[in-house]
Chains A and B, each alone.
Chain A
Amino acid sequence: MSATMIWIFVLLLLGSVPVGFAILGGVAGALWLDGKSMAVLAQRLYSPTQSFPMLAIPFFILAGNLMMSGRFGTYLVNIARLLVGRFKGGMGQVSVLGSVMFGGVSGSAVADATALGNALIPVQKESGYPPAFAAAVNASSSTVSVLIPPSIPLILYGLIANVSIVNLFIAGILPGVLLAVGMMGAVAVVGKRRNLPRAPLEGGFAAFKGQLFIALPAMFMPIFVIGTLRFGIATPTEVSVMAVAYAMAVSGILYRDLSWRVLWEASVATVMMTGAVMIIIMASSTMQWVLTLERVPQFLAEWVSVTFSEPWMVIMALNVVMLLIGTVLDLPAAVLLLGPIFVGIGQAIGLDPVQLGLMMVVNLSIGLYTPPVGTTLFISSAIARVGIGATVKALLPFYMVSLLVLLLISYVPALTWY
């Protein structure tokens, strides 16, 4: 039954059926061909919506949407400019550092690529940056957001792998910083070679003091999230709710740009994203049902540990599989599909599930800016009005940096410390 299911799923997926429905089609087809009751579909579809920790997903999305909808973004860019604008290729550095800061309020790379891309790419083009390079920096650096807490993909992984979301969040900070530092290095090299202009903040620190004071509360969000989680003051779900309240307070009281309209639009965007993510979670739960019934994860884990003699080979194999799948499949979908199977394999070779989670998210987020299908790649190229091919060429140094970071966190457990 499992083999039939996978075949139908892959066929439907390649035929451009939405991921959730492709999975459901595979499961339904396999059940029907096997003469089994299809009632299990509805039962398993419903199950993930009964999970209390799952509530953290819509609320973290909402908190990020609320934060990004206001004036906060402008302040953030100014802070980044003050800090790194004076170097060669300054606006490129601002793009990377901005992603780190945005990452602290948003759990989504695409939101980051859209917001920062619209703010920075036009300015970069005006000051003489090659459009492809501007798009490349934006496409790659925006993925830092899913490593700096909060992070939607890490929450998803935590839920399916039954790993503490708190630990994942903490473990994500160092790889996120490492990735950002590496990308800033790449920008510096390119900036120097192409003699890209500096972009210090006009008026320097003096002009900025007032704004810094206003922007600080918003930047306090990641510290608030990690702090409350780390010291066990509240659980991820509670923190996500408080993060929404916090975002509402900051933009309502401090920035005074919260209106019913903003609230409604942020909410609609949130429920739509939640629906689109949850259909994949729900559909994978039907697929898991068939797989566990036939003990596929166990067999697979056994097969892998017999085929590859050394753990490092298994880790390498997992990474190659993920890089391949990431070229076509969206990050959360890939985490949900591969997670349950990879966790079993990781267990068999004694890999820490938290490290595996970070490995998966770092690896699959590279897929966001690889052809043929990559969302931050598409968004950034569209904003810069440049062809995908040109952006991919300009992305080469960034691919090298991210692969290096991936290699490091795959084999140095200390880098995903929690």
Chain B
Amino acid sequence: EDVIFAHGENPGNPRYIAAEKWAELYTECTGSSVNVAPSATMGDDVEMLTSVGAGIIQITANSQGSFSQIVPEIGLLGLPFLFPDLETAWATVDGEVGDLIDERAHESGLKVVGYWDNGIRHITHLSKHMLEPADLAGMRIRTPPAEMTVDIFEALGASPAPLAWSEVPSALQSGVFEGQENPLTNIYFAKLHEITPYITITGHMYEASPVVVGLGWWEGLDEATQTCVTDATREAGALQRQLNKEGNEKLQATMEEEGAIFATANREAFVEATASVYDKYAETYPELVKALREAAQGQ
């Protein structure tokens, strides 16, 4: 029977390319065919997770935000300035922390078979760069409806407010919001750099793209096929991470050509200003926050 691999990205995106690769690897390994459904044709990220749980589709490369609606623990990967670089982030989710999140997912009938990349988030603004935390004082910044992001920007003294993604361009255009924060790919494809050309490389949050299957489907597979799934996910994931990293570097150049102005924030000052966010989450998830900190420091 066909395996349906669903995701939300369009041709050209690293996740799209990696999904094609996954299909190729899985078919090679098991001999059965894969139907890749891109561009959210099987629904958005939240709907794909429901579909995986209900057995309508078998596997999805999803997003951290949507998955945290089921397994809140994955949201902790977005603790402010947690990872010094992408490689550390990858090592962390591939290790013990990733297993912990997977274990929690089992309670909801899901299984995480691997982690791909979503990107690191940066701040864009209508008229100025955010080099020091003081620059953010009182800034009206749009965030996704995610508690962690709101906490970070409140700690930085900004006034964050969640807004539906579809409404962001017009809200920025009208000046209701002065800026927003997203990975470069999202900024570029929504053309937000044309409205808010001042882009500060803050890298305040890392986001993974969990690759999720239904636990019921997973348990029905024989061990050899299970290995095929995890191997294909790891191998395609390595490609996806690499493409994402290279793509981001190229993207910055493209956006500069189109008029965006880049600057890099003073990371130490931001780290200090957001330390209180860790304390808040350590109260609810003491062990995970500790494990994450250790992993992030390469211990």
Do A and B have CB atoms closer than 8 angstroms in the complex? yes
* B-binding residues in A (CB < 8 A): 37, 39-40, 43-44, 46-47, 50, 52-53, 231-235, 237-238, 288-289, 292-293
The answer to whether A234 and B170 have CB atoms under 8 Å apart is: yes
The answer to whether B54 and A289 have CB atoms under 8 Å apart is: no
* Closest partner residue, chain A, to B48 (CB atom): A43
In the complex, which residues of chain A have a beta carbon less than 8 angstroms from the beta carbon of B166? 52-53, 235
A27 to chain B, nearest CB (A): 13
In the complex, which residues of chain B have a beta carbon less than 8 angstroms from the beta carbon of A39? 54-56
* A-binding residues in B (CB < 8 A): 4, 35, 37, 41-44, 46-47, 50-51, 54-56, 164, 166-167, 169-171, 173-174
The answer to whether B43 and A44 have CB atoms under 8 Å apart is: yes
- On whether A37 and B55 interact (CB within 8 A), knowing A52-B164, A232-B174, the answer reads yes
Residue among A39, A234, A235 having the largest count of chain B Cβ atoms under 10 Å: A235
A218 to chain B, nearest CB (A): 26
CA distance A46 to B193 in the complex (A): 34
B249 to chain A, nearest CB (A): 29
The answer to whether A40 and B51 have CB atoms under 8 Å apart is: yes
* Closest partner residue, chain A, to B43 (CB atom): A47
CA distance A52 to B162 in the complex (A): 14
- Tally inter-chain residue pairs, CB-CB below 8 A: 50
The answer to whether A234 and B174 have CB atoms under 8 Å apart is: yes
The answer to whether A232 and B55 have CB atoms under 8 Å apart is: no
In the complex, which residues of chain A have a beta carbon less than 8 angstroms from the beta carbon of B44? 47, 50
4 tightest A-B CB contacts, nearest first: A232-B173, A292-B41, A232-B170, A52-B164
Q: Pull 15 A–B residue pairs with CB atoms less than 8 Å apart, ordered by A.
A: A39-B54, A40-B56, A43-B50, A43-B54, A43-B56, A44-B43, A46-B47, A50-B44, A50-B46, A52-B167, A53-B166, A232-B174, A234-B174, A235-B167, A293-B4
- On whether A47 and B47 interact (CB within 8 A), knowing A237-B167, A293-B37, the answer reads yes
* Closest partner residue, chain A, to B167 (CB atom): A235
A183 to chain B, nearest CB (A): 35
* Closest partner residue, chain B, to A239 (CB atom): B170
* Closest partner residue, chain A, to B57 (CB atom): A40
* Closest partner residue, chain A, to B50 (CB atom): A43
The answer to whether B51 and A235 have CB atoms under 8 Å apart is: no
A340 to chain B, nearest CB (A): 10
- On whether A37 and B167 interact (CB within 8 A), knowing A44-B43, A47-B47, the answer reads no
A224 to chain B, nearest CB (A): 15
In the complex, which residues of chain A have a beta carbon less than 8 angstroms from the beta carbon of B51? 40, 43
CA distance A224 to B169 in the complex (A): 20
CA distance A238 to B168 in the complex (A): 12
CA distance A289 to B51 in the complex (A): 12
CA distance A37 to B1 in the complex (A): 12
CA distance A39 to B214 in the complex (A): 14
The answer to whether A43 and B43 have CB atoms under 8 Å apart is: yes
* Closest partner residue, chain A, to B168 (CB atom): A235
CA distance A55 to B118 in the complex (A): 29
B16 to chain A, nearest CB (A): 15
* Closest partner residue, chain B, to A166 (CB atom): B170
A45 to chain B, nearest CB (A): 11
CA distance A53 to B171 in the complex (A): 14
CA distance A403 to B131 in the complex (A): 60
CA distance A391 to B4 in the complex (A): 53
In the complex, which residues of chain B have a beta carbon less than 8 angstroms from the beta carbon of A232? 169-170, 173-174
B45 to chain A, nearest CB (A): 11
A109 to chain B, nearest CB (A): 27
CA distance A289 to B57 in the complex (A): 12
* Closest partner residue, chain A, to B41 (CB atom): A292
The answer to whether B42 and A289 have CB atoms under 8 Å apart is: yes
In the complex, which residues of chain B have a beta carbon less than 8 angstroms from the beta carbon of A43? 43, 47, 50-51, 54, 56
* Closest partner residue, chain A, to B4 (CB atom): A293
The answer to whether B170 and A50 have CB atoms under 8 Å apart is: no
CA distance A387 to B55 in the complex (A): 55
Residue among A43, A50, A233, A234 having the largest count of chain B Cβ atoms under 10 Å: A43
In the complex, which residues of chain A have a beta carbon less than 8 angstroms from the beta carbon of B164? 52
CA distance A235 to B166 in the complex (A): 9
The answer to whether B41 and A289 have CB atoms under 8 Å apart is: yes
B222 to chain A, nearest CB (A): 21
The answer to whether B174 and A233 have CB atoms under 8 Å apart is: yes
